[in-house]
Amino acid sequence: MRKFKVVSLFTGAGGLDLGFVRAGFDIVFASELESSACETYRLNFGKLHDISYLKEGDVNHFWDEIPKHPDILIGGPPCQSYSTAGPRTALQSENGRLFLKTIQNLQKIQPRFFILENVQGILTFKDEKDPNKPDQPDNPLPILLNAIKEVGYEVEYRLFDLSEFGIPQRRKRVIFFGKKIGDPTVLKRLFPKKIFAQAQTVDELFKSIPGNLTGSESITPNVTQKIFGPILAPGENLETLKKLSEVELHKRLAEKGLMNDPKIPRENGKIRIPQRGQDVQRLNPAKIAPTMSFNGGTNVHWHPWLDRAISVREAATIQTFPYDFEFLGKNMEEKYHQIANAVPPMFAEVLARSLLTILTEGK
């Protein structure tokens, strides 16, 4: 059976690509802006095959180099402009317009299918036509969907809870499935079926990691993490601490030997919990993990039973990267950033195998 050809854009460390390679696809082009992600990609995919197809730099420099008529175009255009945790500038920002630019270049590249991934926030922009709602960017979704139609493609999209596919975290992502207008494929057949096996809890997952890998690389905690991380119970974050009495806070700090730490923030003699309450959160070992986001690698989750941030390997395992997949970067933040931005390879493989079923039918 021939290998089906894949063009990968906004490739990152290669989470999507790894899933498609595992399913038997052939990557013929990949493009990524961040040099540390490219280093990671070269290290890991270079062990599998020739990676001369990888282009490092702004994708706008490479549109004319992309091979024409691949079987599938995949990618995750930058999501910060659509995320509820970001500026919500949508198509008003250069990064946000890259989604639209990708759609416009479908006409040039002419893939048979495309799969594009983005955050849940892309579905939640309000309608500016309602005068009672605050000013904000135009709802990008109708603009994107209309652009897809204008370049000769049909699209279906769906919000997926990745934990329903065995991914051990509460991660929701929107997947856009597209095909050329006139192709007889029923797009909804590409939607992967849920895997009803329960995703592993943090406890199960972390105890499965070989001991020599668990804490091999971990970010140096900031002052807030050093003081408040150790006193969090499983599943708690700073917002939880704000609800505790001063007596309980003193008790917890004393138990950890931190009561006299001069760096404890105080206001009018009382302990002051920092405002950004989600920035320090201890994982609950009895549950699946929350979304790995990390805010550029700065707000890494706290370990469920040790007083440190989760390690690069632990974060990568939550994202379903294999143990031998290594991350490179100038600092820890870059490595965590790559992990958080990736599509979990296990879910990518589920998407790839759904598409493979269609391609091998020849329909």
Q: Which residues are catalytic?
A: 79
Q: What is the 3-state secondary structure (H, E, C) of the chain?
A: CCCCEEEEECCCCCHHHHHHHHCCCEEEEEEECCHHHHHHHHHHHCCCCCCCCEEECCHHHCHHHCCCCCCEEEECCCCCCCCCCCCCCHHHCHHHHHHHHHHHHHHHHCCCEEEEEEEHHHHCCCCCCCCCCCCCCCCHHHHHHHHHHHCCEEEEEEEEEHHHHCCCEECEEEEEEEEECCCCCCHHHHCCCCCCCCCCCHHHHHHHCCCCCCCCCCCCCCHHHHHHHHHCCCCCEHHHHHCCCHHHHHHHHHHCCCCCCCCCCEECCEECCCCCCCCCEECCCCCCEECCCHHHCCCCCECCCCCCECCHHHHHHHCCCCCCCCCCCCCHHHHHHHHHHCCCHHHHHHHHHHHHHHHHHCC
Residue type at 6? V
Residue type at 119? V
